[in-house]
Amino acid sequence: MKAAVVNHSGDIPRYQDFPDPVVEDGLVRVTVEAVAVENVDRAIVAGTHYTAGPFQAALPAIPCFDGIGRLPDGTLVGFGGLTPPYGALAQYVVVPAGHTAPIPEGIEAPIAAVLSSAISAMSMATAAGLEVGETVLVQGATGVAGRLAVQIARLLGAGRIVATGRNDDALRELTALGADAVINTVASDTDLVQAFRDTAGDGYDVVIDYLWGHPTELLTRALIPESFAMPKPTRLVQIGESAGPAVQLSADALRTSGLEIYGAARNMATGMAAAYQQVVTWVRSGQLTIDVTTMPLSQIEAAWTRTDLRGTRLVISPD
């Protein structure tokens, strides 16, 4: 079969032949229709992600660990459960039968491949317990997931939405998606701390954080009160780390700010089904729009190195 193959650590995937996976007992063959390429996939190929070990040890290998495809009977399903060296960027995959799930009617394969980005934004409800009328800050809102988070915050009834990013044109686009205020994080530390404070209004109730790193470190400084008055809690949900894997968190940022930090997976085990169904409902009705750019598997080298996909998710489909 044809596949996108990484031959050496850090290489760009190449379009080439790869041995067909073997269908054994308990496994099912899926014809691949759409695979979203996300930052985590690039990090695994580069060897910089904490889960990269098994993939790097199996080289040459096919990247990406889930996707959308069709069963032999034609049913459109999401699939996972892949084991290196086999990944999703191929014409076919073989997965455990229990690692497929039907895609709801009315959701096309390329959009279905990107639903996980929207579901991560639902952690503002599942992990942070967002309530109607509360203020949401989306850290890193100009990426695909961040743009979806702005839309989802509005759909969940947020009273006010503040969005951060590094590109003025992209930030202006967010106002049309529901952002009430924007902050450009390309600023001095002092100016950015002040911008967080000036834009907070009565305070940030929920922060959805795709950045982490230095910008979030500055946000925690901005949350420290300037008097002995105890502020209302700020529930920060940590999702991504595009600005860095670590923050330096001062004691007073926790002791006096009311800051509470949760991982995105908090309560997801019990809330995933409802979150997924809500996202599907919004997509079907047109209330939630997901921007994708599709490219064929045969062009994986050019696709993998694209840098012009601001705000849209790259989805690879077989030729």
Q: Which amino acid is at 77?
A: V
Q: Under a CB-based contact definition with an 8 Å cutoff, are residues 162 and 135 in contact?
A: yes
The CATH architecture to which 2-114+290-317 belongs is: Alpha-Beta Complex (3.90)
Torsion sign (Cα): 225, 229, 232, 235: positive
Angle at which helix 144-155 crosses helix 268-285, to 10 degrees, equals 90
Please choose, from the candidates 159, 165, 164, 168, the residue with its C-alpha nearest in 3D space to the C-alpha of residue 136: 159
Residues facing 262 on adjacent strands: 237
Name the strand (E) or helix (H) holding 255.
helix 251-255
Residue 254 to residue 257: CA distance in whole angstroms? 6
Quote the pLDDT of residue 145. Answer: 92
Q: What is the pLDDT of residues 90-107, one digit of tens each?
A: 999 999 988 999 999 889
Quote the pLDDT of residue 228. Answer: 67
Output the pTM of the full model.
0.88
Angle at which helix 144-155 crosses helix 168-177, to 10 degrees, equals 30
Beta strands 76-79 and 100-102: pairing type? antiparallel
Task: Quickly list DSSP for 33-102.
Answer: EEEEE-HHHHHHHHT-STT-HHHHHT-SB---S-EEEE-TT--EEEE----TT--SSBSEEEEEGGGEEE
Quote the pLDDT of residue 6. Answer: 97
**Domains 2-114+290-317 and 118-268 alike in fold:** yes
- CATH class belonging to 118-268: alpha beta
Q: What is the pLDDT of residues 199-258, one digit of tens each?
A: 999 999 999 999 999 999 999 999 998 776 677 899 999 999 888 889 999 888 888 888
Residues of the chain with pLDDT under 50: none
Q: Under a CB-based contact definition with an 8 Å cutoff, are residues 316 and 299 in contact?
A: no
Q: Under a CB-based contact definition with an 8 Å cutoff, are residues 32 and 51 in contact?
A: no
Return the domain boundaries, the chain.
Answer: 2-114+290-317, 118-268
- The total of other beta-carbon atoms located within 10 Å of residue 113's CB is 32
